[in-house]
Amino acid sequence: MSALVLDCDGVLADTERHGHLPAFNATFEQFGLPVRWSEQEYGEKLKIGGGKERMASLLPSVDAGERAQTLLTWHRAKTAIFKRMVAEGRVPPRPGIARIIGAALDDGWTVAVASTSAEESVRAVLESAVGAAIAAKIPVFAGDVVPAKKPDPAIYRLAVERLGLHPAETLVVEDSNNGLVAATGAGLRCLVTVSGYTRDEDFTEAALVVSDLGDPGRAPIEVLANRSAARPGDYLTLDDLRACLEASR
């Protein structure tokens, strides 16, 4: 049985620019920290996997115990701010996400989300993107359920193991090089939908790289690289995803 495993940030929605960055800055303001990350600075922070880990860069020389507690407090506040932004509709889903997930479920695919962001945040974004009824059908692997964040493949290995997936029949959708490395490290093929922060990253190992999944009635997608049997039109279809699982050309 085919399976579709999606990252959250940058895949389900453009969360980094419209959600996480303003939520981080609002948290810094809430705690009186003299820090505000610009879009450019945050692009550099994205090379670090995990929100707490990005915040940790602000506390390089603090005692380990105090550092851990401070990060936990900051991150809880940031997660609450982020969830509120999602609930207010300020983090819209990316094109094609609801359509592709619905088509995959209707066709009997296993669909899951695997992210090393906080589980509360991931579930909020998923529900916003596809609705509560469909989100309830989708397993979520997120947060600190694995000891290492992407690009470590642990989160994808966990999803494969827990769901009993066959790697050759499992396609991952990612938006970053970190995510691609995590997916391929777990022996999975990967489709990349780039975001504004990741467009220029190295996606050599991806089966297919596109601007987004697309939707009927929208501008045609841009195919940035294709090493699969897929022949995308104006938007990706379930047949294109199946073709990404075939042997490379």
What is the tens place of the pLDDT at every residue in 64-120?
888 899 999 999 999 999 999 999 999 999 999 999 999 999 999 999 999 988 899
Compute CA distances 101 → 66, 84, 221, whole Å.
42, 24, 18
Q: What is the pLDDT of residue 62?
A: 80
pLDDT mean over 50-72: 88
Query: DSSP character for 59?
Result: -
Q: Exposed, middle or buried, 142 (CB in 10 Å: 0-12/13-18/19+)?
A: buried
Task: List residues with catalytic annotation.
Answer: 7, 9
pLDDT band at 135 (very low <50, low <70, confident <90, very high): very high
Which tokens is 211 given? 């601007």
Q: By the 8 A CB rule, do 203 and 192 touch?
A: yes
Distance CA 13, CA 93 (A): 4
Computed over every residue of the chain, the mean pLDDT equals: 94
CATH for 3-14+92-244 is 3.40.50.1000
pLDDT of 249 higher than 70: no
pLDDT of 61 higher than 90: no
Q: What is the pLDDT of residue 100?
A: 98
pLDDT of 248 higher than 70: no
Superfamily of segment(s) 16-87? Putative phosphatase; domain 2 (1.10.150.240)
Q: What is the pLDDT of residue 35?
A: 95
Q: By the 8 A CB rule, do 246 and 229 touch?
A: yes
| Tokens 């695997």, located at residue | 114
Which tokens is 241 given? 């995803």
Q: By the 8 A CB rule, do 25 and 38 touch?
A: no
Distance of CA 59 to the CA centre of its chain: 26
Domain ranges of the chain: 3-14+92-244, 16-87
Q: By the 8 A CB rule, do 183 and 206 touch?
A: no
Total residues found in the chain within this entry: 249
Is the peptide bond prior to 93 cis by the omega test (within 30 degrees of 0)? no
Which tokens is 96 given? 């094609």
